Amino acid sequence: MSEVAVISTFGNDDDCARGILALHHARIHDFRAFFPFPSEKIIEAVNHVRGWGRSPVRYWQLFGGIIGVLSAIALTFGTSWEWNLIVGGRPIISVPPYIVIMFELMILIGGLSGLTGFFLHSRMPVFDPLPGYRSRFNEDKFGLVVECDETAASRIESVLRDAGAEEVTREALEPVRDNH
Amino acid sequence: MAAAVETDLQPRYIDVDRQVQRAMAPGGLTYWLWVLFCAFLTALGIGFWTNQVYKGLGVTGLTEPTMWAPYITNFVFWVGIAHSGTLISAILFLFRTRWRTAIYRCAETMTVFAVATAGLFPLIHLGRLWFFYFVVPYPNERYLQPDFRSPLVWDFFAIGTYLTISTVFLFTGLIPDCANAREVATGWRKTLYSIFSFGWQGTDRQWRNFQMVYLLLAGFATPLVLSVHSVVSWDFAMTQLPGWHSTIFAPYFVAGAIFSGCALVLTLIIPIRKFWRLEDVVTIWHLDNLAKIVLFTSLIITYSYSVESFMVWYSQDPLELATFHQRYFGPQGYFFWIMVVCNCVIPLLLFSPRVRTNTVWLFIISIFVNIGMWLERFVIIAGSLATNTMPSQWRFYTPHVTEIVITAASFGWFLMNFSLFAKFMPIVSMTEMKEGISWLRQAVRTRYPYRKAA
């Protein structure tokens, strides 16, 4: 059985969110939404349908921040022990000034780690357009793409049209699928 | 009827794209002459710097006791300029302030290039540049003591982190806009935008992670704004020098940084919106709000100047009194009074809504503020060093041509980079503008009062 991508185009985020919920009610869960700006309505609908919580990128940032603080402790304490020269009569380990270094490295490593998490979880960089992607989805249109068997395509097209899609088209898929 | 109102009030998403993409169209003769002029200034500065490296710091007016005069003034000035960029992009983002959308990219770009410019000055200030790596605080076997108790080492970490996080924040925000630009670009520009968009296609998965990383980066950048300029102020306040050793320095420097940075955003955005016809995107409303921040921070600065002077008078410390007497009435006292006029008096014009909504007035006031803020750093740094704890050493700094040219070149370098970036990258965030339009549509649909929605 050949596989196709049913590509629906919506004029606004309300209709697109409605389309997502309509697919959910029709028990169609294997879809992908494209939208030109972070629409709360679409994101809420997607989270509801997929059962997603908050993005795991936050853990990357948290652990990066912790690693940053630990690195700063290692750097400042370790260096002071290694070169234990008394400066200005102050203790070898002077914690208050080291807090500045700990703070800065927490931000630095936490930020870079969050960025790494973002790229990994978003599966970026992407070198080829995903099935059903249209350039207008980055401009002014909202898209819902469902990959399915050709036999199920008609039902999905009808669900999407009923939800308010401006245009619904069908595209044959390559045999190898990308699961983005 | 409701539909008609909706259509009249609201631009379409595609209109935002078209306006911003028009600003990214190849520059005309005037644009390239401007870039060439900035490049010429930069080249001149590089020439004078090369001469300084070859002949030594003797070619400058730097001598005991004012070894930190103009170069560190430039360093603090440019770091300060950077701060408002993060304020506008990160702090106002966290507060969900809608007016930031049209101007925050410009402010972020300014931040990155201002920090990059600031970072050059510790290098320029070094007599023997090739020993720069001695400054880098890392454990080593050359018996160089990395003293983490020194504010200069804190500065190294603070500026390095600030440059990195600001750059990451700017380029993360650019990803969806570069993807948008990629769709209409051709040739090498398409390649450029494809690289910076990392294959972004705006899927639900990408947006979900994008929103989280952007929020967290904003959350990280916010305390960073406060910490970096506090650390810069401690370069001075942690010493015992009269005129520097003050507890008010950290908040005073942070407020000054936001003041000067917002003024420079006005200086940059006003010509951009006029010459690249972005009046519909960057409206008078945005400039008005920015002007209110400038006015508010000007009042904080005025208060800080007053408190600083009061504390000196109240302490009756003879050295502090002598330093401040020299600052106000000494041979270079006119710098202080020009500074007061530029930072405390001229911004008071912004109390008038007519001035705040007049771009010519705003542009002129922003220039004065920047002159005033440069002088503030000069007065604090060079003025205090000139009148140290040994009156027999007192000597006021006189600039030589090398420092003047290198200072001018720093402006040329900054403006050249900014102008090139603004031409080739989306200088207004298209995605956030569209988000604003969507929000406005929702507001109109639910009959939310239009003034609030706007």
Predicted confidence at residue B454, as pLDDT, reads 46
For residue range B136-173, list pLDDT tens digits in order. 766 666 666 678 888 888 888 999 999 999 999 999 99
pLDDT at B389: 84
Assess whether A107 and A140 both reside in one domain.
no
Give me the interface pTM, i.e. the ipTM. Answer: 0.91
Mean predicted confidence (pLDDT) in B12-35: 89
- A 10 A CB-CB count for B373 gives 25
Residue A100 forms part of a structural domain: yes
Q: Are residues A79 and A31 in the same domain?
A: no
Q: Which residue of B has its CA nearest to A109?
A: B161
Q: Do residue A133 and residue B201 have CB atoms under 8 angstroms apart?
A: yes
From the number of C-beta atoms within 10 Å of its C-beta (0-12, 13-18, 19+), residue A66 rates as middle
Q: Which of A135, A136, A134, A131 is nearest to A11 (CA)?
A: A136
Q: B56-88 pLDDT, tens per residue?
A: 999 998 888 888 888 999 999 999 998 878 888
Using a CB-CB distance cutoff of 8 angstroms, which residues of chain A are in contact with residue B160? Answer: 104, 108
Across the range B258-286, mean pLDDT stands at: 91
Rounded average pLDDT over B249-255: 91
Say yes or no for a CB contact (<8 Å) between A118 and B209.
yes
Residues A101 and A134 in one domain: no
Tokens, residue A51: 């059962």
The rounded distance, in Å, linking the Cα atoms of B147 and A168 is 66
pLDDT of B437: 83
pLDDT of residue A107: 96
Counted domains in chain A: 2
- The hierarchical CATH code for the domain B2-453 is 1.20.1630.10
Reduce the DSSP state of residue A5 to 3 states and report it.
strand
Say whether B211 and A33 touch across the interface (CB within 8 A): no
**What is the arithmetic mean of pLDDT over B219-230?**
90
Q: Judge whether residue B129 has pLDDT over 60.
A: yes
* In a shared domain, residues A45 and A132: yes
Q: What is the mean pLDDT of residues B339-344?
A: 96
Q: Which two tokens stand for residue A5?
A: 């991508």
Interface test with B, best of A77, A100, A137, A144 (most B CBs within 10 A): A100
A contact residues 69-88, partner B, Cβ 8 Å cutoff: 75-76, 78-80, 82-83, 85, 87-88
Interface A-B, measured as beta-carbon pairs within 8 A, has a size of 184
Task: Output DSSP code: residue B352.
Answer: S
Q: What is the mean pLDDT of residues A81-93?
A: 82
Separation in Å, CA of A171 to nearest CA in chain B? 18
- The answer to the question of residue A178 being in a domain is no
In angstroms, the separation between the Cα of residue A102 and the nearest Cα of chain B is 10
- Is residue A151 scored above 90 in pLDDT? no
Residues A63 and A110 in one domain: yes
Does residue A7 fall inside a structural domain? yes
Q: Is B10 exposed, middle or buried (0-12, 13-18, 19+ CB in 10 A)?
A: middle
* pLDDT score of B325: 92
Q: Quote the tokens at residue B30.
A: 């005037």
Give the C-alpha distances (Å, rounded to integers) separating B402 from B63, B125, B380, B412, B415: 14, 12, 21, 15, 20
Q: What is the pLDDT of residue B451?
A: 52
- Residue B5 pLDDT > 50, yes or no? no
B148 contacts in chain A (CB < 8 Å): 75-76, 79-80, 94, 97-98, 101
Checking phi first, is residue B290 left (phi over 0); if not, alpha (psi -120 to 50) or beta?
alpha
| Residue closest to A167 by CA, chosen among A19, A43, A31 | A19
Q: Do B209 and A138 touch (CB under 8 A)?
A: no
Q: Mean per-residue pLDDT for B305-320?
A: 92
Please calculate the CA angle B244-B249-B254 and round it to the nearest 5 degrees.
Answer: 140
d(CA B44, CA B110): 22
Shared domain for A105 and A139, answered yes or no, is no
Altogether, the residues listed in chain B come to a count of: 454
Quick one: DSSP state of residue B91? Answer: I
Nearest-Cα residue of chain B relative to residue A88:
B149
- What pLDDT was estimated at residue B337? 96
Higher pLDDT, B16 or B294: B294
A144: left (phi over 0), alpha (psi -120 to 50) or beta: beta
In a domain, A151, yes or no: yes
pLDDT digits (tens, 9 = 90+) for B383-418: 899 988 888 888 888 889 999 999 999 999 999 999
**DSSP designation for B379:** I
A180 in any annotated domain: no
Q: How confident is the model at residue B302 (pLDDT cuts 50, 70, 90)?
A: very high
- Chain B CB contacts of A58 below 8 Å: 212, 216
Amino acid at B391: P
Contacts of B8 (CB under 8 A, 6+ apart): none
Contacts of A107 in chain B (CB under 8 A): 161, 165, 220, 223-224
Cβ–Cβ gap B203/A32 under 8 Å: yes
- A115 and B CB contact within 8 Å: yes
**B435, A39: Cβ pair inside 8 Å?**
yes
Task: Out of B12, B212, B435, name the one closest to residue A55 (CB).
Answer: B212
Claim to verify: residue A102 and residue A88 sit in the same structural domain:
yes
Q: Select the residue of A98, A112, A139 nearest B148 (Cβ to Cβ).
A: A98
User: Shortest Cα distance from B141 to chain A (angstroms)?
Assistant: 10
Residue A134 lies in a domain: yes
Mean pLDDT estimate for chain A: 88
CB-CB under 8 Å, A114 with B217: yes
Evaluate if residue B453 carries a pLDDT over 80: no
Write the CATH number for A148.
Answer: 3.30.70
Residue among B160, B212, B432 whose CB faces A58 most closely: B212
In which band, very low, low, confident or very high, does the pLDDT at B43 lie, cut at 50, 70 and 90?
A: very high
List, edge to edge, every strand of the sheet that includes A167-172. A31-34, A142-149, A3-10, A167-172
Which residues of B fall within a CB distance of 8 Å from A137? 201-202
Q: How far is A122 from chain B (nearest CA, A)?
A: 5
Between CA A130 and CA B206 the distance in angstroms is 12
- Res. B4: pLDDT tops 80: no
- pLDDT band, very low/low/confident/very high, at B131 (cuts 50, 70, 90): confident
Residues A115 and A146 in one domain: no
Q: What is the mean pLDDT of residues B129-135?
A: 80
Q: What is the dihedral of CA A146, A151, A156, A162, to 10 degrees?
A: 150
pLDDT > 90? residue B16: no
Q: Does residue A1 have a pLDDT over 70?
A: no
Q: How confident is the model at residue B335 (pLDDT cuts 50, 70, 90)?
A: very high
Kind and range of the H or E element at A167? strand A167-172
The per-residue pLDDT for B448 is 57
Spatial neighbors of B103 by CB under 8 A, at least 6 apart, are: B88, B265, B269, B282, B286, B290, B428
Residue A145 β-bridge partners:
A7, A32
Residues A9, A21 within the same domain = yes
In A4-33, the residues whose Cβ lies within 8 Å of chain B are 12-13, 32-33
Q: Which residue of chain A has the CA closest to B429?
A: A37
- A138 contacts in B (CB within 8 Å)? 176, 179-180, 182-183, 200-202
| CA dihedral sign, ordered B98, B103, B108, B111 | negative
Residue of chain B whose alpha carbon sits nearest to that of A42: B204
Domain around A163: 3-54+128-172
CA dihedral B80, B85, B89, B95 (to 10 degrees): 40
Single-letter residue type at A30: D
Q: Are residues A35 and A61 in the same domain?
A: no
Name the residue facing B154 among A83, A101, A137 (closest C-beta).
A101
Q: Are residues A101 and A135 in the same domain?
A: no
Taking Cα atoms as reference points, which of B280, B288, B284 lies closest to residue B12? B280
Contact A61 B216 (CB under 8 A): yes
Quick check: B202 and A36 CB within 8 A? yes
B37 CB near a chain A CB, below 8 Å? no
Q: Parallel, antiparallel, or unpaired for β A142-149 and A3-10?
A: antiparallel
Please check whether residues A36 and A11 belong to one and the same domain.
yes
